[in-house]
Structure formats: C-alpha cells, structure tokens
Amino acid sequence: MNVLVILIPVSLILGGMGIAAFLWTVRHNQYEDIEGDAARILFDDDEPNP
Amino acid sequence: MSVMSCPGCAGAPLAEETARSFPASSAGDTVSLSLPGIHCAACVSGVERGLSRLPDVLDARVNLSLKRVSVQTRGDADEDSLINALLELGFEALPLDSDTLRAGEGDAAGRALLLRLAVAGFAMMNVMILSVAVWAGAADATRQLFHWISAIIALPAVAFAARPFFASALSVLRVGRVNMEVPISLAILLASGLSLYETMAGGEDAYFDAALSLTFFLLIGRYLDHRTRAAARSAAQELAALEVPSATCLRGGEPVRVKAADIVVGDLVQVPAGGRLPVDGVIDAGRSQLDRSLLTGESLPVAAQVGHEVVSGEVNLSNPLIVRATAVGQDTTLRRMAEMVAVAESGRSHYTPLADRAARLYAPLVHGVAAFAFIGWFIVTGDVRYSLNIAIATLIITCPCALGLAVPAVTTAASGSLFRKGLLIKSATALERLAEVDAVVFDKTGTLTDGTPILEDLQNLSAEDRAVVLALSQSSAHPISRLLAAALEGMQVTPTSLDDIHEIAGRGVEGLDGLERVRLGKSQTAVGGTVFQRGDAAEQVLRIDESLRPGAQDLVASIQSQGLHVELLSGDTEFAAAKLGARLGLERSKGDMLPADKIDHLATLQSQGKRVLMVGDGLNDMGAMAQAFVSISPASGVDATRATSDIVLLGRSLAPVQDALKVSRSARARIRENFGIAICYNAVAVPLAVLGFASPLMAALAMSSSSILVILNALRVRA
C-alpha cells in the first residue's frame, strides 16, 4: 500500500496541471470568438507577424 | 490563391505584405465597428489587413461571432476615416458606441461557469478514484485516509463550483418561492456536511463523490443552457448602440463635431449621405431619400425634402441633408422605442418554466419525506446521528440530478435538432412557450415577403418597349429605376440609344426615341404606380410586387389547418397588407400599423387569453416581439430585433417554423416523460433510503443511471 504515497500526489498533480492549462485558455480569451478562430486557420499567409 | 470566397469579399483585395504593429502600452482609443457583411476567413483577413495598413491604427481584431471589429487607434483617428477605409475595401461598417457595448462586453458569466465546471470535473474525477477504492473494500486506516483526502479536495471545490446554485436558491428563498436549485443546493450542502461529519467521526459512509458529481452534471446543464443564450444580448442595449455617437452641427455657420448627447433642440445637424439620423427633426436644407424601415418596416425609400419631418434612426440614402433638431437625447423616437421594448420585455419575464413548476411540487414532498424519515428513525432508535444519516441519504438519493437534467437535456437535444434545420433557439424557455402557442402574428415585409420587389408586367411589354424602358431606367438613380434596370438586364435586353434623356423631378425620366417622346415614371392618371408611356399612347402600368419568402404559403396553410388564429400586421399600407393577406388566404390582415399599434394589438390578443407567436424582422416589430408570448425573427432582420426574439431563423425559407412548432410539442412531451421517469425512480429509491438501506455506492449508481435514462429519453425528440 506504500505505493499510494506516490500515486495519490501524482494523480493530484496531473489533474492540477490539466485544470491549470484549462484556466490559462479561459483567461486568454480562447473561447471568445470560436467562429472566427475556425476561419483564421484558413488564412493564406503563413509567415509570422514581425 | 484564396480558397474561400463569398459575395461580401468580392471586393476585398488580397493584401500584400503589411507591417503590423502591435498595441503599445500607451494605445489611444479603442473604436468598435459593426460589420454586418462579414462571414468568412477572407473577410476577416481583408478587414484586419486593410485597417492595419492605416497610419493611425495600432491593431485591429475582428470578432466573427459578433461580426464586430475593435480597432486600437493612436488617438487621433476618428471613426469616419476607418469606416471610409472599410467601404473602399468593400465592407459595410457601422459605428457602435463602445461605452454602451462595454457594459455587456466579455461573456463574464459564461467564463465563470466554465471555470466552475472545470473545478468540479477535476475534483469529481479525483474523489471518484478514491471512492472506488473504498467501495472495493478499503477499510480502517486506508478508508480514513481516503475520506480525508476526498474531504480536502471536495469541500473547497463544492464551495466554489456550486455557488451559482446556492446563489439562485437563496435569491428565490428570500422572496418566499422555490425553484429546482433549492433541493439541489440542499442535497449538495447536506451531502458535504454529513460526509465531513462522518469522516471526522471515523464513520463508514461518505458522499463526497455524490456531492461533486451532482454539481458537475448540473453545471454541464447550466453551461449548455448559457451557451444557447449567449447570443442573446439585451435588445435594448443593441438599440442604444445603434445611436450615432457623434454628429456634425452647424453652429454660427461653422461645422462643429459634437457628441450626440450634446446636441440641443434647434441645432442644425448635417447628415451625410449614408448616415443615420442622430435626432428627430425637420429638414432645413437638401433633398434626398430616406430609408424609414425603422418606423414602417418598408424597404422602399421615401423622398424627403425641406419641411419634412424626420426621425432618429432613419438612414439618409442619396444626398446630404441639414436637419433642424426638434427632439434630442432621451426624447428621440429611437430612445422611446428602446424604452417601449424594455417595458414589454420586463412584462414577459413572468413565465414560470416547467422545471420550476415541478420544483414547487417536488421540493416540499422530498423534504417532507426526509423529515418524516428522521423523526421516524429517531423515535424508533433514539439515535440522532443514525436518523440524520438516513434522512440525508434520502435527500441525496431522491436524485435531483434527474430532475435538474430533465429540462436542459431535452432543450439541448431539441435545439440541436432545430439548429440542423436552420433555427437558433436563444431563450431557455422558448420551446416550452412555443408548444403552448395558439395564435400566430406575422409581419409583412422581410418576413412573409422577401423585401426584394419583383416585376410582373415586364413580360407584357413589346421587345422594342423593353429596350426603351431599360435605356430610361439606366439613366436614373431612383430605386425603382434601378430595380427595373436590374430586372431587364437579367432578361438579356439591350438598351436602345435615346436622345435628350432628362429627369423631371417628381415625374420620372423622359427621352426621345427617334421623334417620339417616351416617358418612364409616375402615372398622370388616377391609377398611380409606375408607368411607361410612348408618345400619347395609353400608359402601360409596371406593377411592382413583393415576392413571397419560400415556404410562406405552406407555413400559413399548415398553421391554419392546425386551427390556430393567424394574423398579418404590417407597417405598409392597408391595401398592400390586404393584398398579401388575400394571396396567402389569411382572413385577418391589418396595415398602417405603427410600432406602438402592433404592441397594443398583441396586448389585446393576449388579454383575450391567446398565447401569441410573433414572427417579424424589423426594428418596428421589436416592441411587438418583446410583448408576444414567444417570437421568431429571420436572420436577415436587424440585429436588435434578432436579439429580442426567442428563436432566429437562419435560412431564407420559412418552412422550419413548422418544424419548430412540431419539435416544441415533442419536447414538451419528453420533458413530461422525464419528470415521470424521475418520479418512478424515486418511488423505488425513496422507500429503500427511508428504510435505511441506502449507501454511497447506491447513491452514485442511482444518480448516474437515472441521469442516463433521462438523457436517452431526451434524445427521442423528433420533428
């Protein structure tokens, strides 16, 4: 049962990383213009912005 | 090469290399413009690149979902130059009042729900892992440890994630009512509280997973609900944003740029061609044509000259005008309409959704049974902790989950099926209300008809006359001439060359075909309408009629066959309304209706006990739509009208309205079945719980199986 000492923190950390990534996307307005983002992928210009 | 193309982008040049500068920290103003015409990737990049190339623009970002662009300027670029730049690129742009919009900007509520959903999901998964171990037989110290870890995860998570339910429950309890959130909140709170107590006391059973999964599933329902309504911004707010934020006034002979709020009665306001009138007033100089669709809903322009009264919100089409302001600020017609809509909207919010009606029955019943279990067990055993345990297990197992999902699951399934048919459901209770409708009221122009006139009589002209009519109509900018010219060009007619073509104001266009005088314009006789006349021969009438929207005829017939009361209310003339009514076989049609008349008429119908569905598209229908029991508007309608309506019709055809009526009735049946399922479920689960056989595993099973049943039943919604 000692393996729990490792496994429980590991599962919590993995879950925590997931939620942190999700919070980041929300904070950075990634769900504000879903339609527009779907369109932007079709832009012809692949060169990065200066 | 560009792969996507759309009519709106035909004029959008493929921009070459542009140097884009990103907003500096000291950015100037942010200007918001509405772009009604954009709808694809090429539009987005065309607008953004075009604007970024302007010297004063720091950054431009298009939001395609809202059809808006927000532009960061260096401070000295004004809206007009941006709008003109966009017009040159081929995009129609309208100024929006950023301050008015900002009030409702950024879907804060949706974001908060998403955060809570994520937290609840994360916590639920972790606690569930631990719970499975406990169910599988972990005992003593291991079980204690798992319960404590669960408590540490679950309690803060519940406190954060379930707050919308607590807040909603609290707010209705304060006014002495109950809704579905009351039993939900109670179950969540008691489940967490009991579990914490049991954990501290070293007990066997903890319901942390139940509290969290309840929160998680119900938050999903909430979020889905919120998303379907996210498009529904407050109608009054959109209307206010339509107002022109600034205008040019002549003060002491000098043009001065002033804020719309600072115009005073008596000011001379310059209205450029294409501009929207900022105030009510009388024309002081100039002669032009106005788009008065705001008041009448009619798309054909009206001539305006010195002395005519004009109204805020109308659009000046052809020539600049100078208007002497007679009503400004809060007194303008546009503002009064916004108020009318706000009043009508607030009157409608009295509808009690099915879910809340069910909660009114359910909450006292369940709470009564739990109290009864507690008292019964206390009398039998005399053990407070044991009795309380059973009472709370009863509350948890009675599954507010199934009840909480009964309505959102059906609405989401029905909205999805209607979306595929081209209908957007915006209001959560729209389907429930639609199912109860027993009267339908239609607007005319733009709703039953397409708004684009068709020409019936051109076929009757001789080929020679057609060529002459085309030559005459091409020489005039009058809207009817343009229509004629477009129709004739479509018929592959080549214009005759005429001599001495000249326009006679108020009469039409004249010219010489050889030696014969030919005229296109107003009839000289009592008939009225547009005529073509060759020499002194008889006038040939060119009737202009409206084409029906596809599906209109079928829709009206099907609604009538269902025995519903149908009416036509139009801002157009009584004659035009009656004519269309006769064409569709409608018995009741009324013309000359001002926005306020429409509202009054609907109020009268409703006082007779009718539940009215209003289908309309113009700003003049907005008040009536807010007044109606439920409303539908086509996507071609004005933004503000779409915002007021409960359901938006995406395509051109009206046929989906029939589907909406059918689906709504089917949805209502499914919702009732779902309540039935929840009741049957409780009929089995409650006795077990009251008798003391409930366990956390049973609660988890009950919750998931009943939820799945309810969702499966919801998927049976069919048109």
Q: Which residues of A touch B45 (CB under 8 A)?
A: 40, 43-45
From B46-55, B152-161, B503-512, B681-690, the region with the lowest mean pLDDT: B503-512
Enter the pTM of the model.
0.64
Second CATH level (architecture) for the domain B239-336: Distorted Sandwich (2.70)
User: pLDDT of B220-272, one tens digit each?
Assistant: 778 766 765 554 444 445 555 556 667 788 877 777 777 777 888 888 888 87
Helix %, strand %, coil % for chain B, to 5?
50, 20, 30
Q: pLDDT-based confidence at B196, cuts 50/70/90?
A: very high
User: pLDDT of B477-527, one tens digit each?
Assistant: 666 776 777 777 777 778 888 888 777 766 678 888 888 888 887 777 655
The answer to whether residue B664 scores a pLDDT higher than 60 is: yes
Among A15, A16, A31, select the one facing B114 at the smallest CB separation.
A31
Please tell me the predicted confidence (pLDDT) of residue B166. 92
Is B4's CB within 8 Å of A42's CB? yes
| Distances, alpha carbon B375 to alpha carbons B367, B384, B628, B656, in Å | 12, 9, 49, 55
In chain B, where the domains are located: 7-96, 108-230+351-410, 239-336, 423-451+548-650, 457-542
Class of domain B457-542: alpha beta
Give me B217's structure tokens. Answer: 């599933």
Average pLDDT on B598-622 reads 86
Q: Which residues of B are catalytic?
A: 443
The one-letter amino acid at B478:
H
Q: How far apart are CA A17 and CA B245, in angstroms?
A: 46
Please tell me the predicted confidence (pLDDT) of residue B7. 40
Residue B258, strand partner residues: B247
Identify the closest residue of chain B to A28 by CA–CA distance. B111
Angle (CA) A31 B649 B593, round 5°: 125
Interface with chain B: mutation pick from A3, A28, A44, A46, highest number of B CBs within 10 Å: A44
Q: How far apart are CA B460 and CA B573, in angstroms?
A: 27
Please tell me the predicted confidence (pLDDT) of residue B350. 59
Phi first, then psi, for residue B229 (nearest 5°) are: -105, 0
CATH of the domain spanning B7-96, picked from 2.30.110.10, 3.30.70.100, 1.10.150.130, 3.30.565.10: 3.30.70.100
Average pLDDT on B542-547 reads 72
Please tell me the predicted confidence (pLDDT) of residue B719. 60
Task: Please state at what angle helix B333-348 crosses helix B235-242, rounded to 10 degrees.
Answer: 170
A4: Cα separation from own chain's centroid? 28
Identify the closest residue of chain A to B107 by CA–CA distance. A32
Query: Which DSSP state fits B629?
Result: S
What is the pLDDT of chain B when averaged over all its residues?
Answer: 78
Please tell me the predicted confidence (pLDDT) of residue A1. 65
Q: Which residues of B107-124 are buried (b: 16+ CB within 10 A; e: fewer)?
A: beebeebbbbbbbbbbbb
Give B31→chain A minimum CA distance, Å.
18
Phi first, then psi, for residue B71 (nearest 5°) are: -115, 125
Task: Please state at what angle helix B208-229 crosses helix B163-174, rounded to 10 degrees.
Answer: 80
Neighbours of B337 (CB within 10 A): 24
Helix %, strand %, coil % for chain A, to 5?
60, 0, 40
Class of domain B423-451+548-650: alpha beta
Identify the closest residue of chain B to A49 by CA–CA distance. B20
The answer to whether residue B557 scores a pLDDT higher than 70 is: yes
Give me B52's structure tokens. Answer: 């970024």
Task: Please state at what angle helix B400-420 crosses helix B208-229, rounded to 10 degrees.
Answer: 30
Q: How many CB pairs under 8 A join A and B?
A: 66
